[in-house]
Structure 1
Amino acid sequence: MAERPRSAIVAGNGVVGLSVAIALQQRGVATTIVAPDADWRGASWGNAGHIAVEQVAPLASRATLRSLPARLFSRGGALALPSRDVATWLPFGLNLLRASAPDRFEAGKTALSALLATAMPAWRRLLDTAGRGDLLREDGHIVVWETPDSAARGRAAWGDSDIGTASLHDLTADELAAVAARVSVSLAGGVRFSGSGQIADPAALGEALAAIFARLGGRRRSGRAAMLTPTESGARVTLDGGGALDADVAVVAAGAASAPLLTPLGHHVPLIAERGYHLEAAPADWPRGLPPVVFEDRSMILTRFSGALRAASFVEFSTAGRAPDPRKWARLQGHLDALGIAFVEAPRPWMGARPTLPDYLPAIGRSHRHGAIAYGFGHQHLGLTLAATTGELLASYLTDGKSHIDLSPYDVARFGR
């Protein structure tokens, strides 16, 4: 694009899409969101609500590869590689193997650190704009272990890790007792992180972001973006139900559904649907003031939201359209039963797809093939964490031609073509 865009279309209304649309509208770009009329129940809603600024080390690493056998679902772990989807996850795994080379891992950590350092301030600005600063809780999070051996190994691992802008300390006796009082197993130790946070209510977050977008004058078109076409003056978005919209720029922010929009334009996008599961209900006894608690031995995180307690886990490399695997919910329920965590009603199950690229970095930028096509997707486990800053960075880049951090590491062209 040679000129500052006056109009934009954002394909997707998840937390990233909404953040991008709001940031563009704030900069005077008349923006339309294209998304189906459906409840906000994708990965933007179903995650653990954790603002994970401590996760600066990409999961594409030699350490992750070494740990894979012990993490397999068949061995009690949280990693599922369904045999029916081998044609999907095997090519992704080979790309992940290449991305795990030490030099690429270090470059990825540098790039991810730069993004994560901007995450919390961006959320403060966005939620202050929405008048919902109460939705951001900056109380950190807790990690606990159930055996002396796992506590020693886990504490050593976190002590040796780069955790970016976060910090941690060993749980005091009172802090450990506060968690231990809520479970029926013994806890051997734990740490508390500072600098991280959580969203108090994911559904309320979606409503707040949609409301501020509308208040700023943003528009919405019901439908699913089926095709992007460059035009002489910008880009055209064709909807699956018929009809099309034209704008100076079109932004792909459709999460796990983003690749089919860019592939026909000549981009190679090795995106996988990394599926997660949760159970949620009103708890019988879990205080609202307790920050998210990671039971690391079980690869499970418990988050207290305004009206419910959510238990989330699993990394299932699959396709977005596959039926959920009920064994995952059964495993989660087994963990909850073992911990003695009760609900006042039957927990509600959920499954959703995280959009993940093999180097575990997001794709943020503009197409080098078609300047009127931009994108923001592939945030893996960090979609909620990085949504607000992605919106600011991409909107600044599209309107001013620059951003306050270098976006080149997130260019989708890094995968070829």
Structure 2
Amino acid sequence: MPNGNSQCGALVIGGGIVGLSCALALQSRGIATHLVAPASMIGTASWGNAGHIATEQVEPLASLGTVRSLPRRLFARGGPVSLPPGEVGAWLPFALRLLAAARPSSFRRGSAALAAGLAEAMPAWRRLVRQIGAEDLLAEDGHFVMWESAASAARGRASWASAPIGTATVRDATGDELARIGSLVRVPIAGGVRFTGSGQIADPTALAAALEAALLAAGATRRAGQVLALAQRDDGSIEATLAQGGAIVAKRVVVAGGAASGDLLRPLGHRVPLIAERGYHIQSEAPGWPATLPPVVFEDRAMIVTRFRTGLRAASFTEFGAVATPADPRKWARLHAHASDLGLPIGEDAARWMGARPTLPDYLPAIGRSRRMANLFYAFGHQHLGLTLGPLTGELIGALATGDAPAVRLEPFDLDRFERR
């Protein structure tokens, strides 16, 4: 195991889907790779999300439409967006930067950048699951969006019909599809659409285990721990100081630590306006919910319901604040209320989760090479698209680290974009 007296070819900081994908890509390119992350990453956003591979979400959430819709989407009015008063010091500066990023010209550039990345997302997922021998964990069955009133169905259909959705396609749900979903809930279903070209992970816990096993089998090493600081040495290598004591010296370092990434990069001179965008879910065993049914978005409730092998998960909310702020029990209570209204087989004893998505104000990830240290790379800030773009991000970092041309242009994802504003 690498320590302060030896070097590894690459150190990856972060064990979520992005970090694991980066480590596996580097190791597969012949670079002796060491990964440092907490002992268990199951509680993080990579594995607590809805399991949805969202190839259709090509428009950044930093948009004038998002800004205009905010008042009716606030948690206090029954919506999914929470701006806790005690966290105003975190979310107000972020909100002001989001307003700047929502300008039409910035939004168009962001949409083009996301569309290019999302076009490569599903092919990258196919390559990854094939590489780790876990093809059964990737389902490419699309997803549904359902509405409970004629008015919301009309608005929703019109919105999706006019929205860019990249490589995905959308059509009206058939009568049989509406009847199937309607038979599972106790509220009327007034309409719905079905997307194709999107996908789902069948079992997030099994995926995490398969990725770690494949990484170790390829010859990489892993340490449970936390990196506190990075510093360049006289020989050009980078020394990573560990919270548990000691240090690791590496020829290359990839910062893929999610919402904690800014703490490592800011002392090096990078501007990182990152916020923790927290989400919530509840999950329990799923008697009566078909194992073959793709994810269903109940758009009137801003909630997505996903059937995993381990149970049925209902997920929602966008809560802006700090990583360490305690969870808000009202979010779980509302999820339970929605589940009860719908008649979902999710009881009061369901497992509860809250985790932080790493989000930058223009809703684009940060993927690239530091201009301050040529052997320092970063891959974080994927907001709601971490699971979707994780495998592709690993491939992009692998290409950068070995001098190959990345599959998509990385200039829009350069972290220094925040220093030019």
Length-normalised TM-score, structure 2: 0.97
Matched, 1:249 2:234: no
Structure 1 CA distance, aligned partners of 2:92 and 2:41? 32
Deviation at residue 344 of structure 1 after TM alignment: 6.5
Deviation at residue 36 of structure 1 after TM alignment: 2.0
CA RMSD of aligned residues (A): 1.2
Change (3 A) 1:344 1:62: closer
Match of 1:209 in 2: 211
Structure 2 CA distance, aligned partners of 1:390 and 1:110? 17
**Contact 2:51-2:202 within 8 A present in 1 as well:** yes
Structure 2 CA distance, aligned partners of 1:150 and 1:219? 51
Matched, 1:284 2:290: no
**Contact 1:36-1:222 within 8 A present in 2 as well:** yes
Deviation at residue 235 of structure 1 after TM alignment: 1.1
Matched, 1:404 2:407: yes
**Contact 1:21-1:33 within 8 A present in 2 as well:** yes
- Say which of 360, 364, 376 aligns to 2:363: 360
Structure 2 CA distance, aligned partners of 1:79 and 1:344? 24
**Contact 2:339-2:346 within 8 A present in 1 as well:** no
Structure 1 CA distance, aligned partners of 2:26 and 2:193? 39
Matched, 1:376 2:409: no
Match of 2:134 in 1: 132
Deviation at residue 233 of structure 1 after TM alignment: 2.7
Match of 2:263 in 1: 260
Match of 1:165 in 2: 167
- Say which of 328, 336, 341 aligns to 1:338: 341
**Contact 1:283-1:344 within 8 A present in 2 as well:** no
Match of 1:111 in 2: 113
Structure 2 CA distance, aligned partners of 1:149 and 1:67? 17
Structure 2 CA distance, aligned partners of 1:101 and 1:307? 42
Moved more, 33-42 or 236-245: 33-42
AA in 2 matched with 1:326: P
Q: Which runs of 5+ in 2 are unaligned?
A: 1-6
| Deviations 1:26-49 (CA, angstroms, capped at 9, x unpaired) | 000100001121252100110000
**Contact 1:284-1:344 within 8 A present in 2 as well:** no
Match of 2:3 in 1: none
Give aligned-pair identity as a percent.
57
1:279 match: secondary structure: strand
Match of 1:150 in 2: 152
Structure 2 CA distance, aligned partners of 1:80 and 1:244? 39
Deviation at residue 6 of structure 1 after TM alignment: 7.5
1:333 match: secondary structure: helix
Q: Which runs of 5+ in 1 are unaligned?
A: none
Structure 2 CA distance, aligned partners of 1:201 and 1:11? 24
**Contact 1:284-1:343 within 8 A present in 2 as well:** no
Structure 2 CA distance, aligned partners of 1:244 and 1:260? 17
Match of 2:309 in 1: 306
Report 1:39-54 matches (<5 A).
39-54=41-56
Match of 1:222 in 2: 224
Structure 2 CA distance, aligned partners of 1:125 and 1:351? 30
1:352 match: secondary structure: strand
Deviation at residue 374 of structure 1 after TM alignment: 0.6
AA in 2 matched with 1:125: R
2:402 match: secondary structure: helix
The size of the alignment, in residue pairs, is 413
| Deviations 1:187-246 (CA, angstroms, capped at 9, x unpaired) | 100000000000000000100000110010000122101101122232111101111111
Moved more, 28-37 or 90-99: 28-37
